[in-house]
Each structure stands twice: as structure tokens, then as C-alpha cells.
Amino acid sequence: MANYKAIAEEICTILGKTYTERVGLHEPHFAGNELKYVSDCVETGWVSSVGSYVDRISEDLSKFCKSPYAIPVANGTVALQIALEELGVESDDEVLIPSLTFVATANAVLYLKAIPHFVDSDVESLGVNCGKLAEYLENIAEIRGNECWNTKTKRRIKAIVPVHVFGHPVDMDPLLEIAKRFHLGVVEDAAEAIGSEYKGKPAGTIAPLGTLSFNGNKVITTGGGGAILAADKAQGEHIKHVANTAKIQHAWEFRHTEKGYNFRMPNLNAALGCAQLEILPKALEMKRKLQAAYCDWFSNFEDGEIFTEASYAKSNYWLNAMILKEESFELRDAILDSTNAKQIGTRPLWVLMHRLDFLSKYPKMNLSTAESLEKRIVNLPSSWFLVDKFGL
Ligand SMILES: *Cc1c(COP(=O)(O)O)cnc(C)c1O
């Protein structure tokens, strides 16, 4: 491991043999009825907040994710906001979220004037480290009635948001047990995890509430969009109501029952999504092939390995990740520099939430694993159509 530059060059060679043009980290791919369905919206004039594709994407998602309720919304961030609000998160409540996540998870908490409280991750799932979390809560939390209170900050800890990072499912059984023991509501942030499974169950449906994103960089896209998955009828219907300005269905009267949001997914976006959902099974198959190819290409690489799903999980492999060994962390920037210089779109992990200036004041546990992972992860190009380009 003496010569970092040489090793970075070797990685470029491994990737470069397959990449002949610029490749992004994750690009959308339209291979089905996208144009047909979107044109249909324009031709019929149904482009906005109501239309047949909005109803259809809701049904199709519900079927695909085996979730009784699937409510399409404007994006994955507001999906989280509305799900947390449904759980009863109020201003000044603490919400446990991993520091290792995309900033949207923290923003959704802030929109409710609640307090993000950062928890550590583990190396097997890249998600919440349940062992460490249980020990931490035993030290700082006190149960009063059926509420959990932080004895240090004197605030209520209301909920936890496990994030399925890069599509890899969190170990949900121990997490749900902790949630039950400490009376915490749970929203799964499955923004990156459509099609992933935990012990055979679709990600986003293991807890009573889960959220998805259909942003352009996710496995499938609606341009911008998201959804809430709900198991419970009352919750599902209430979320749909609130996301749709809390208007009572009526032939001509406009009556609203409470503070509602305009978080609807427009029909135009839903049309794109319906077509993308049709090809999702194929996309998932291709993504697994790509991950297997990465494992193969890097099988002799001594300084790190390609992340592979845990035994309980089936991952959608949204983003492939090279995890460098602890002693090889200095390689990260050399790899990022040389690959990007060759038009290979690699990138590091997000800067951890607790290290962002505007979030640094919020409570956190010891975050040693997340901090170690931050130094050692390089995401590799993961668009599913690369499988065709590589002739895999
Ligand atoms: C993409 C993403 C979101 C937010 O989704 P948007 O549709 O971009 O608002 C939330 N959480 C995670 C982990 C994400 O990756």
C-alpha cells in the first residue's frame, strides 16, 4: 500500500476498460412507455394535480411494495415530513436519525421545528447501529408513562428514522424492538430502497410508515416525486387527505378540514412513474448484475471491497460502494481525483450531518463508525443501463 497513486491508476484501469465515454454516478433511463404516457397527459390536458396516472401510480406502488396504502407526493423530503407529522412529532421533540444520510432526512425533521438527534451506523448495513443505539438510550432516556424523555436535554424523544443507505436494508427487527421498548414512532426512509427487501419484506413496509423518492438520481424517477407507504387504513387515508390540502371530496364545494399541504404529485410526473414502474423489475435485475461485476473486477483489490448485502437483506444496489480498509483510507481522494479526471463519476459519502455547520449544534451519540465510513467510502457509477454498455 505504499504507492497511493499507482493504486488509484489501477482502479482507473479496471473501470476504464469498460467506460469509453463520460459516465455519471446514477443517471435516469427510459426504456418503456414513458413518452407515450407523458404525451397522453399533454394531449388530454390532464397534466396537474388530478388525473388517471396519479391514481394508477398509487395502485401500482401499493401492489409492487405490498403496502395497503401508497400515497404519491411531490418528493421524498415532504414524504418524510408528512409521515413524521402523522406520527405526532411536534416542535421541540427529538427525532433520532443517522448522521450518515442525505440531508433531506434532517431537513424533514427541521420543517416540523423538531430536533434531529444523530445516531451511529454499522458496517454490515451502513444503517442504524442497533447495539450501540440500545446502549445509548439506556443511558440517556427515561420512560415516563408511554413517552421517552431525554434526561440530558429534557426533551421528548418521539421517533426514529432508519435510513436504508444506498438501498441496503437496516436490520429492522432489533430496531423495531428498540422502538417498542422506548416508545418511539418509526418512519423508514426508503428513499433509496425501492425494490429492496428485509427478510423477504419490501423496504418501506417493515415499519408502519415508510417513504420513497423518485428523484432523477434514484433507481426509478418521476422527474421529482416521492411516496408514503402506510399499513394502517386510518393513517393512510389521513396522509392522503393532508397531502391534498385537506379538502373534503365533493362535487363542487371547497371545504377543508385542517391545515393541509399541497404536496401532490402532478399527473405528468405520475405518468412518467407508471412507465418506470413497469420496467423496475428489469432495472433491479440489471443492478444486481452490475454489483456482481464490480465484485468480480475488484476481487483482487487488496485495499478495500465492494459492499455486499447482509445475509438478511436483498438490496436494490442503488449505489455501489467501494469500502476501503481502515488503513487504506488515504486512497479515497486519490481514487476520486483520478477517476473524475477520466470522466468516471465517482463520489464520496455525503458529509456527515453532525459535521454540517447548520446541524452541528444538535445532540448526538458517539459516531465513530459513521466517521470511519465517511473516510473510506467511494461510490461507483451505478446506472442500470451500464450493464448493456459493458456487455455483461
Ligand atoms: C433522495 C433522498 C431523500 C429525499 O428525496 P427527494 O425526492 O430528493 O426529496 C430522502 N432521504 C434519502 C436518504 C435520500 O437519498
Over 60: is that where the pLDDT of 3 sits? no
Is 67:229 a contact under the CB 8 Å cutoff?
A: yes
Question: According to the model, what pLDDT value does residue 377 have?
Answer: 97
Best residue among 105, 165, 196, 276 to mutate for probing ligand 1, ranked by most atoms within 8 Å of CB: 105
Determine whether the shortest distance from the Cβ of 192 to ligand 1 is under 6 A.
Answer: yes
State pTM to two decimals: 0.96
Nearest to 187 by CA among 213, 207, 158, 167: 207
Query: If you take atom 5 of ligand 1, which residue's CA is the nearest one?
Result: 76
Distance 111 CA to ligand 1 centre (A): 15
Cross-strand pairs, 362: none
Quick one: pLDDT band at residue 8, thresholds 50, 70, 90? low
DSSP 93-119: -EEEEESSS-HHHHHHHHHTT-EEEEE
Question: What is the Cα–Cα distance from 335 to 331, expressed in whole angstroms?
Answer: 6
Looking at the CA of residue 101, tell me the nearest atom of ligand 1: 13
The HSE-up count of residue 283 (CA atoms within 13 Å, CB side) is 28
Question: According to the model, what pLDDT value does residue 5 have?
Answer: 62
Determine whether the shortest distance from the Cβ of 102 to ligand 1 is under 6 A.
Answer: yes
> 187: helix, coil or strand?
strand
Question: Residue 311, exposed/middle/buried by CB under 10 A (0-12, 13-18, 19+)?
Answer: exposed
The predicted-structure confidence for 223-241, as pLDDT tens digits, reads as follows 999 999 999 999 999 999 9
Q: CB within 8 A of 121, min separation 6: which ones? A: 98, 99, 100, 127, 128, 129, 165, 369, 370, 373
Question: Residue 249, exposed/middle/buried by CB under 10 A (0-12, 13-18, 19+)?
Answer: exposed
Looking at the CA of residue 218, tell me the nearest atom of ligand 1: 1
- The three-state DSSP-derived secondary structure of 194-260 is CCCEECCEECCCCCCEEEEECCCCCCCCCCCCEEEEECCHHHHHHHHHHHECCECCCCCCCCECCCC
Quote the DSSP letter at residue 350.
P
Over 50: is that where the pLDDT of 2 sits? no
Determine whether the shortest distance from the Cβ of 163 to ligand 1 is under 6 A.
Answer: yes
Query: If you take atom 14 of ligand 1, which residue's CA is the nearest one?
Result: 191
Q: In Å, what is the CA distance from 99 to each residue of 7, 91, 230, 320? A: 30, 20, 25, 20
Question: What is the Cα–Cα distance from 203 to 392, expressed in whole angstroms?
Answer: 27
Over 50: is that where the pLDDT of 1 sits? no
Over 80: is that where the pLDDT of 359 sits? yes
Determine whether the shortest distance from the Cβ of 379 to ligand 1 is under 6 A.
Answer: no
Looking at the CA of residue 75, tell me the nearest atom of ligand 1: 7
Location of C-alpha cell 412507465: 275
Determine whether the shortest distance from the Cβ of 167 to ligand 1 is under 6 A.
Answer: no
Quick one: pLDDT band at residue 211, thresholds 50, 70, 90? very high
Distance 77 CA to ligand 1 centre (A): 6
Over 70: is that where the pLDDT of 18 sits? no
Quick one: cell of 336? 476520486
Distance 104 CA to ligand 1 centre (A): 6
Instruction: Quote the distance between the C-alpha of residue 147 and its chain's center.
Output: 28
Distance 281 CA to ligand 1 centre (A): 21
Is 155:92 a contact under the CB 8 Å cutoff?
A: yes
> Which of 339 and 181 is assigned the larger pLDDT?
181
Question: According to the model, what pLDDT value does residue 84 have?
Answer: 98
Quick one: cell of 99? 448522521
Quick one: cell of 296? 468480480
Q: CB within 8 A of 240, min separation 6: which ones? A: 69, 71
Determine whether the shortest distance from the Cβ of 76 to ligand 1 is under 6 A.
Answer: yes
Query: If you take atom 6 of ligand 1, which residue's CA is the nearest one?
Result: 76
Looking at the CA of residue 164, tell me the nearest atom of ligand 1: 13
Question: According to the model, what pLDDT value does residue 259 have?
Answer: 97
The predicted-structure confidence for 247-303, as pLDDT tens digits, reads as follows 999 999 999 999 999 999 999 999 999 999 999 999 999 999 999 999 998 888 889
Question: What is the Cα–Cα distance from 341 to 372, expressed in whole angstroms?
Answer: 26
